[in-house]
Amino acid sequence: MKHPFLLAGIPPEMLVEAHGTFATATCTVCRRKYDGEDLRPDLMSGVIPKCVTCKGVVKPDIIFFGEELPLHFFKYVTDFPLADLLIIMGTSLEVEPFASLAGVVRASVPRLLINRDLVGPFAMTNSRPRDVVLLGDVVNGVQTLVRALGWTQELDALMVAAAEKSSTKPNEE
């Protein structure tokens, strides 16, 4: 399945998945790359995927606690001081370097938190006057944002295209 951000037209080089992704995977021994969808049957049945080349463990390209963040993440940290808007979603803002990212944007930059709870600087009494908070389910918060921006038709079209694409993919047993 194509990544939702790529479906939305965001170029891969502009996307930073700081916690990694299940969309791809890598053999821990020979470093052979795999499409994450190829691992789904094994992962869903509790089987550890093995490399077809060397029989090593194939690990989804996600970042586990204690592992290094991708270098791509640090390249884009320099963009924060140039931002016009910061949207923060679905996070506790407790673990560095993420915990401090909300403070990296200029004080004049509006920050939007879409989250179940108030976190980080949004939980403090001295939050910024331009901060906006949408508390609750992240999906509902994003849908509220999409409606406010007048993008409902575009989102619906993306969702239909994604559903059609996944329904045309052959079933895997």
Residue from 2, 14, 19, 42 carrying the catalytic annotation = 19
- Angle, in degrees to the nearest 10, between helices 138-149 and 152-168: 130
- Give the CA radius of gyration of the chain: 19
What are the distances in angstroms from CA 156 to CA 10, 75, 141, 152? 17, 33, 16, 6
Residue environment code for 81-118, b if the CB has 16+ CB neighbours within 10 A, otherwise e? eeeeebebeebebeeeebeebbeebeeebebbbbbeee
Would you tell me how many other CB atoms lie within 10 Å of the CB of residue 49? Answer: 19
19 classed as catalytic: yes
Contact 61, 18 (CB under 8 A): no
- Tell me which residues are annotated as active site: 19
